[in-house]
Amino acid sequence: MSLFKTVPPNVVQSIRAFRVTDLQAEAQRLGQHFLYAYCAEATTKQQVLGKIANAFHFPKHFGKNFDALHDCLTDLAHKAGPQPGFIVVIEQLPNTQKFDKEARETLLDVFRDSADFWADKKVAFRVFYSFQ
């Protein structure tokens, strides 16, 4: 039985009832990429993007800005060849002066845009996040 019976193939949502280990196991079962970033120690946009870039193995030249994040999640992955799908988990996004509600929403919008990009290509792109 699929863990994602009620989860659309292209979505960005709170992790809520899901456990990271279950999401990782489901990615393996489905043969999809599992991308995981833990951001609890980050306090700025640069640090959050750095944690994501390191965890997702982005190229060294990654620009640590939202446009570069979008490019890495979409064009770079698309150009690498056919993709089996993605399950992305970003845990403990900070709530700090230098990474506030607006920054969190912008980050999630980048992931939403990426989900739309992959939906157009009929590739699953599910993102689960949590806040500190």
Look at residue 54 and give its three-state secondary structure.
helix
Rounded Cα–Cα distance for residues 129 and 59 (Å): 23
Report yes or no on 86 lying in a domain: yes
Q: Is residue 5 part of a domain?
A: no
pLDDT value, residue 22: 96
If one counts the domains in the chain, the total is 1
Q: What CATH number did the domain enclosing 92 receive?
A: 3.30.370.10
Q: What is the pLDDT of residue 111?
A: 98
Q: What is the pLDDT along the chain (132 residues), one digit of tens a residue?
A: 678 888 999 999 999 989 999 999 999 999 999 999 999 999 999 999 999 999 999 998 899 999 999 999 999 899 999 999 999 999 999 999 999 999 999 999 999 999 999 999 999 999 999 999
**Beta-strand relationship, 33-38 and 125-131:** unpaired
Model pTM above 0.85? yes
1 is a domain residue: no
Q: Which domain holds residue 26?
A: 10-131
In a domain, 3, yes or no: no
Res 2: pLDDT: 78
What is the total residue count of the chain? 132
Q: Look at residue 2 and tell me if it is in a domain.
A: no
In a domain, 4, yes or no: no
Which residue, among 85, 79, 98, has the nearest Cα to 124 in the 3D structure?
Answer: 85
